[in-house]
Structure 1
């Protein structure tokens, strides 16, 4: 019975090989002829589009995806048997399938989706690329007793050695003969999710891919790529003990670098005149800085650094004589969500006027929480009171709630009206600035400064006076604005924040485990005691570069900090 099964299997293998030969004749005759001319020094692979296989034979295309390793052997055997001149051999040429109809999300890979062992494609950015190193594919072992050579094929697992000599039949000792062994170039890539596909606060995930031979040395960190390969799992180990948890990785089959898209901007004479007028204004620096992420208050130094990078760059001269600006890189450091939260009993005011402690609110809405490094978050859609740059109170949608580990130190801020709030050191609060407000981190506040508060949370009476608990007048609210010693806020708006004077700031050690935050579509939210900025993100912003083009801070995301 066994010989019959073997014969049937061989017949099936030969049939599949013949199908690939027919496919090559119909679709890739010219490409194979070109490969034969350039092999092996200039080209060592035949690239095949998946759509072409699908048009030729639906079942064959499905087999290529579901049994990629086995089908690649048939495809490469068919390439070696293809009609070529007698003096041409493609003995070690590869067949690389690319352009799968869909790519899977790196963070969406799940065991129940049955991707393991299948041909898949992932898209992302090269986070890391190791040096190209030689990898042994067939090791030649020389017996130190009789000199017999034993050849052992090597796989991606542990290094395999012979059990006994084929000549003297003794168990060594053996020495690897590198001259007689076969090697291939190898490299490991780490592909990370592209940031434009992430929601605020999400940490990008990554997957490693092993590539060999002519795929190596083609990409560098920062390249946007589509990697096609076979998805595998590998068991983790802890010392000498094996873990029950497995890692995912890919054996790369094809790597395609996505072309960068640049958007040109037509500059007419009016634009040039306006640019020249702006360049002559003494506050041009402040204007450009304020144009970077205008909905994010503060961070002037960080925005200035971005502007200086955007306006800098080294001229790069291309081989055709044209000039372009060299690449520049920006690195904004900060863990998502760290440092910008308040303690659980801080009350938050909602758009309908009701108030609730933020801790209870967040805990109630953590229905299907997603984990981050030091806490969890969940999506919501609830209207809260929020403050605009001019000090006016508006309604905005809260989109996410956060629960994070409390830091080692918090700041307790007390105001003249008797309010107390406890926040992380980097949590921004608002202070009057000109005819509006600006954000200042809690650690940068000082006694005597005025901070914004909800209109009826600082002891505001019907007369418009803001009184402390002992009855002293701290500030007055007149004509929809705070008058007296503080600048006017929100002139012309029906409701604006008031200000309250800081009387003490104290660093305290928290006696609680968690702090909380609410992410709002917009820059601020209003607590009962004072107005403080919540999580906010932005998609992109534009500034005019010296080359007359619209340079975009693409995919920049403001995470909770």
Structure 2
């Protein structure tokens, strides 16, 4: 399917599925990304959706060109004030077999459209990347432009980053940096969620490239679902035929901000309310926590209250009162301390386990690391950042050094 034909088909889709009003609202809100729902595209043309998910690099540039044409038609003045390359298409909806974790990204999905779920562990600095440079020639008094593309570009082969210093006649050129066009660029690492990793195996990671309005949308510790194109990049000076893979980010959705309303049915809510009216509700729930361990009623009640949490308060004068409970379990060896923590690890929706002997203060909070390839500084999340709004379990707490223990005091006060 040629580029022009793809544009015509997409324009028909926008018209038939009622996206024209959405584009009008997007211009009014000054958004730069139109959300395309795969379910709507599937209703319009199932075969087109299948081809789009298998070869998004061929279809997405044509779709984005069609979107820019519609935007210029609806608001002709916008093309003069805003760079048109900033308008993009984000993909959402049901990805089917292309909805994977970083472990399941295989060669079969290369150059395909994927949706990856995971935890953000590293974020690089946001840097500008040149899209179009403008050069001025003093001899001829004329301006010339040059477009730039790298290996991650979908609009054609890479051009290289060398700026021209002479025109065709050999006259010297001066680069006008203020008149050139740039785009924000950021690399993040997306790690498999610890609770979904197979037992005894380390969680896998994938590098994700974010551009334009997607940069700085997440921080280390955030749980996100990220859609994009799975691409292989040629490694520098390698003759083994091995490739580094990256996901070219297209849309980002946070998990923590979604309400988990669908987790309870009406019958569940009725049972919970009935249990809440019983006078022995706390004793019953504490006994149900780790039922294979006899006794320890006080300890179980404390762990239950920690799991349920208190009431977090933000007062009008800016004072923050935390609602979380910090618990220190002390006791003789073999009194089921670690077993109780293991039950908490299994019950809590978000729980990260670590040991005091193998953890440093930096490893628990956050570390600034240097990227091997680019030399950029990155912020890497530790166990306590990954367990934000959840439970962080530190076993063998007494084996931790005093200097490392001080690092978590600030975290415990939040």
TM class, shorter-length: 0.5 to 0.7
Offset of residue 243 of structure 1: 5.6
For residue 161 of structure 1, what is the aligned residue in structure 2? 162
Match for residue 81 of structure 1? Answer: 69
| 8 Å Cα contact 1:234/1:246 also seen in 2 | yes
In structure 2, relative to structure 1, the CA distance for the partners of 1:539 and 1:101 (3 Å cut) is farther
- The alignment partner of 1:270 has SS state of coil
**Matched residues in 1 for 2:49 and 2:354: separation?**
43
Q: Aligned partners of 2:123 and 2:27: how far apart in 1?
A: 30
Instruction: Report SS of the residue matched to 2:250.
Output: strand
Counterpart of 1:554 (choices 350, 353, 358) is 350
CA distance in 2, matches of 1:228, 1:241: 29
Deviation at 1:25, TM superposition (A): 0.9
Distance 1:439 1:59, change over 3 A: closer
TM-score (norm 2): 0.62
Bigger RCO of structures 1 and 2 (CA < 8 A, at least 6 apart): 2
CA deviation vs aligned residue, 1:289-317 (integer Å, no higher than 9, x gap): 8549xxxxxxxxxxx9x999869889443
**CA pair 30-189 structure 1, distance change in 2 beyond 3 A:** same
Aligned twin of 1:189 = 188
Aligned pair in 2 of structure 1 residues 79, 241: CA closer, same or farther (>3 Å)?
closer
Task: Tell me by how many angstroms 1:96 deviates.
Answer: 1.6
Partner in structure 1 of residue 253 of structure 2: 256
Q: Aligned-pair distance for 1:205?
A: 0.5
Please give the per-residue CA displacement for 1:454-509, whole angstroms capped at 9, x wherever unaligned: xxxxxxxxxxxxxxxxxxxxxxxxxxxxxxxxxxxxxxxxxxxxxxxxxxxxxxxx
How many angstroms apart in 1 are the aligned matches of 2:62 and 2:25?
A: 21
Partner of 1:198: 197
SS in 1 for 2:50: helix
TM-score relative to the length of structure 1: 0.47
Whether the 8 Å contact between 1:98 and 1:228 is mirrored in structure 2 is: yes
For these two proteins, the number of residue pairs brought into alignment is 314
In the TM superposition, residue 95 of structure 1 has moved relative to its aligned partner by 1.6
1:538, 1:556 within 8 Å by CA — same for their partners in 2? no
Tell me which protein shows more helix as a share of its residues. 2
CA 1:54–1:310 in structure 2 vs 1: closer, same or farther (change >3 Å)? Answer: closer
Q: In the alignment, does 2:57 pair up with 1:69?
A: yes
Query: Equivalent of 2:100, from 98, 101, 104?
Result: 104
Provide the secondary structure at the position in 2 that maps to 1:131.
Answer: coil
User: Structure 1 residue 17 and structure 2 residue 25: aligned?
Assistant: no
Partner of 2:23: 32
Shift of 1:110: 2.4
Deviation at 1:328, TM superposition (A): 9.4
Gap runs ≥5 in structure 1: 1-8, 279-285, 293-303, 331-431, 442-521, 524-535, 543-551
Deviation at 1:231, TM superposition (A): 0.8
Aligned to 1:245: 242
SS at match of 1:51: helix
Could you tell me which residue of structure 2 aligns to residue 489 of structure 1? none
Any conservation in 2 of the 1:539–1:557 contact (CA below 8 Å)? Answer: no
CA contact (8 A) 2:113 2:227 kept: yes
Q: Which of these residues, 260, 268, 277, is aligned with residue 277 of structure 2?
A: 268
Query: Alpha carbons of 1:155 and 1:117: their partners in 2 closer, same or farther (altered >3 Å)?
Result: same
CA distance in 2 between partners of 1:440 and 1:269 (Å):
29
Residue 118 of structure 2 contacts residue 192 of structure 2 at CA under 8 Å; is this kept in 1? yes
Residue-by-residue CA offset, 1:53-111 (whole Å, 9 max, x unaligned) = 11101222122112212311221222233384454546442122222234123212222
Q: Using the alignment, how far apart are the partners of 1:166 and 1:308 within structure 2? A: 73
Does the CA contact (< 8 Å) of 1:129 and 1:189 recur in 2?
yes
Q: What's the counterpart of residue 178 of structure 1?
A: 177
Contact 1:538 1:557 in 2 (8 A): no
Task: Please provide the CA RMSD for this pair.
Answer: 4.5
| 1:222 shift after superposition | 2.0
Alignment of 1:446-485 (within 5 A): none
1:172-321 equivalences under 5 Å are: 176-237=175-236, 244-258=241-255, 259=258, 261=260, 267-268=276-277, 270-271=279-280, 287=296, 290-291=299-300, 315-317=312-314
Matches of residues 100-179 of structure 1 in structure 2 within 5 Å? 100-102=95-97, 103-111=99-107, 113=108, 115-142=109-136, 149-157=143-151, 160-162=161-163, 165-166=166-167, 168-169=169-170, 176-179=175-178
Q: 1:34 to 1:65 in 2, by over 3 A?
A: same
| Larger-Rg structure | 1
Report if aligned partners of 1:118, 1:231 keep a CA contact under 8 Å in 2. Answer: yes
Using the alignment, how far apart are the partners of 1:556 and 1:98 within structure 2?
A: 29
2:384 — aligned with what? none
CA contact 1:539–1:554 (8 Å) conserved in 2: no
Identify the structure with the greater strand proportion.
1
Evaluate the alpha carbon distance shift between residue 313 and residue 234 of structure 1 in structure 2; reply closer, same or farther with a 3 A threshold. Answer: farther
* SS across alignment from 1:187: strand
Task: Please report how far the alpha carbon of residue 229 of structure 1 lies from its aligned counterpart in structure 2 after TM superposition.
Answer: 0.6
Q: Matched residues in 1 for 2:232 and 2:143: separation? A: 34
